[in-house]
Structure 1
């Protein structure tokens, strides 16, 4: 039985935006004019049917959810906005959609009752038709927005095709909008799909990122001054991070340190070089915390105010990360493959490597491989070093190779190349020497003896 429902209401017709309203909307959603214009042309007429399904994809922090939500709210269109991460089952997903469309909010007053129990997609289609008729919305399009839509692939096989054909199955004017970070081609896992209208949100360019970050300028400083600061920040972080939310967070977090000489009356807003020299070492240390969130913003600000040259304790917490036994040896082998030249493998890992002819004088002329950074290496070299340094006999099973994928997920290894590369994959080790020495100590392996730069 359905729970108590609100009295029958007639929804307000959607408004038509004027040119001034559209300009204000574009000002609120910068660098997305093309996508915004297309969506406004699709959603503009409330009494006309629109495309039955729209698929929007792009990387994180590209404005997908913000643009859709802003357009639907500005036009006052009836809609349900669902984050699929919060709905683990088909039942919870369908009930959440019906609750928003029927304007039923489960709370303590109604004993957290939902609009109606919904066990299958057949029940959902039937109940949706009843809600549309009850709300007197037959002549108006209802929009169902499913964010993180890639989660639908883990549900029953009929869920995704049913949402794509929801307007056809229900006979109502319904538009389902799927928002995802992966392309539409990776959704094709069966039959019965209705091709949606695909809309791509590309990554922000560097100039667009500067434009958006500059909007966070404090009122006490001119916009050009904050833009120059954001440009300096991007020079450090752009190669490692292009996520808008992350860059905005870093800009706001490090700005007090940037203006510290100004607050002390030691510099003005025109002394860009002096301000840069003051903040450069702090930005390089903050580069180690990108995406990791090992410390909170308050802890980072406290660390900056103390002026301590050493890193915070939590920044080195990855040195104590707990890994499976063979994963540690795989990580050690990857570090050796990244920082040792190929010609030294026979010397370190072969029992009968012969006599080393290299003189110490010629050795001193070489540049340290630790300073040159990690070099890519193929999978077969990694496994050869791994089987040489591990004590026990390990069979080359899928369990061993799956641990390489786990190290990539933990960002201890990085895969070099593209998915369409026909050659064997190549990897790089992304950890520091201190980190790998800490890992080596846990398995009683003296890694320094096997590093080309430290070997005598």
Structure 2
């Protein structure tokens, strides 16, 4: 236990509690572990299972696209390929329980077996009987097995309306500033002393801690900006102990980088280039692009942000009444003459982008994206990011929180370039280009 506590910095309390839950006979049927993103849930479980060599099956609810793949993965992890091959093509819960019991009678558990369900909040969208069955799987299969659910939401929001077995609850709280300092300092560059890197992390947290507590994002920011912090040192202008001079050099750089928190597509160097290009674009006399747009041609957007921008362009330049024809299956052939009216003879591209509500943007986005996407906070934050990058313009007032409206602020050649990177033929979905 002392070795495990050493490996897991800042997780000792949670690790010791999980170790305490391992009795000599049967363990608790199900444990619900919850906490915000990057709060150490998966890391603690991985270290415990590796150090104690416990039999376990780790299942990602994002990667398991069906119940069949879930059952197959569990049987494969505990009993091998032959057991997994006994499942029928479309197995039911009773098929899984039957095969598990057969295999368990041949290979009884010498110690508790564990099934870890990562991103388990997605189980709420699965079959209604799956989650209640997992919570009392120990009783169903008559084996010493514990199901551990890892989630970013609390049990009150997770619990099914129909009722189920109540699991043991374990909360992973957010890291304090001291804990973040301790964890991030472990990533120090071997070319520099531990004190020097710790002082850098202290400066970084002083700037970003008020707006970002995500360990993954802070780790990304630390790696991204460290070379800039070391520039005066590499040039021989200062020493490692001149913290004040190092701070004055990096402070404006970090404050600019604050505008790109959670925007993985924009590095700090790219952000400085964007600022410079915006100044040059303001001085352009002939057909100036929207502010900052020329700079964005050098920025690589995340995958879903590209589809959000494509959806925004379609919403800006297509009449709203054509959405069903473009984005619903079995719509039949669309003819432009059926939609034209006297006031629509002019091209929508010549008239400019029209505002559209948020719900229309999301409806088009979910239609054009080539995979199933849950309406998470990440999608909404990427919309805000596109507004920050001035690729979208919010035209409604700030106090209209219930119905925000936007306009797409990019030209046709820009959106065509974005569409080519995701193999999406946007011209086929533009009303102005119908034959």
TM more than 0.5: yes
Indicate whether 1:206 and 2:194 are aligned. no
What is the aligned partner in structure 2 of residue 321 from structure 1?
309
Deviates most, 146-155 or 268-277 = 268-277
Compared with structure 1, are the counterparts of its residues 237 and 147 closer, same or farther at alpha carbon in structure 2 (3 Å cutoff)? same
Match of 1:410 among 360, 380, 394: 380
What is the aligned partner in structure 2 of residue 67 from structure 1?
44
What is the aligned partner in structure 2 of residue 89 from structure 1?
66
Deviations 1:96-126 (A, max 9, x none): 11111113399xxxxxx84633601111111
> Quick check: 2:354–2:407 contact (8 Å CA) kept in 1?
no
Match of 2:117 among 146, 152, 160: 146
Match of 2:3 among 24, 29, 43: 24
Question: C-alpha displacement at 1:92, in angstroms?
Answer: 1.2
Query: Root-mean-square deviation (CA), in Å?
Result: 4.0
Distance in 2 of aligned mates of 1:290 and 1:429 = 13
- SS at 2:57's partner residue? strand
Indicate whether 1:34 and 2:4 are aligned. no
Compared with structure 1, are the counterparts of its residues 164 and 67 closer, same or farther at alpha carbon in structure 2 (3 Å cutoff)? same
Give the count of matched residue pairs.
336
The within-5 A match list for 1:257-406 is 257-295=228-266, 300=267, 309-310=276-277, 313-315=297-299, 321-324=309-312
Question: C-alpha displacement at 1:291, in angstroms?
Answer: 1.9
> Quick check: 1:95–1:115 contact (8 Å CA) kept in 2?
no
Compared with structure 1, are the counterparts of its residues 268 and 398 closer, same or farther at alpha carbon in structure 2 (3 Å cutoff)? closer
Question: C-alpha displacement at 1:132, in angstroms?
Answer: 2.0
Indicate whether 1:185 and 2:156 are aligned. yes
What is the aligned partner in structure 2 of residue 241 from structure 1?
212
What is the aligned partner in structure 1 of residue 338 from structure 2?
none
Deviations 1:323-355 (A, max 9, x none): 4479769xxxxxxxxxxxxxxxxxxxxxxxxxx
For structure 2, the residue ranges without an aligned partner over 5 or more in a row are 278-294, 318-352, 365-374, 395-405, 412-435
What is the aligned partner in structure 2 of residue 424 from structure 1?
none
What is the aligned partner in structure 1 of residue 93 from structure 2?
121
- SS at 2:21's partner residue? helix
When normalised by structure 1's length, the TM-score is: 0.64
User: Which of structures 1 and 2 has the bigger CA Rg?
Assistant: 1
- SS at 1:100's partner residue? helix
Question: C-alpha displacement at 1:276, in angstroms?
Answer: 2.1
- SS at 1:219's partner residue? coil
> Quick check: 1:50–1:141 contact (8 Å CA) kept in 2?
yes
- SS at 1:55's partner residue? strand
What is the aligned partner in structure 2 of residue 100 from structure 1?
77
What is the aligned partner in structure 2 of residue 217 from structure 1?
188
For structure 1, the residue ranges without an aligned partner over 5 or more in a row are 1-21, 107-112, 330-389, 415-427, 444-456
- SS at 1:56's partner residue? strand
What is the aligned partner in structure 2 of residue 131 from structure 1?
103
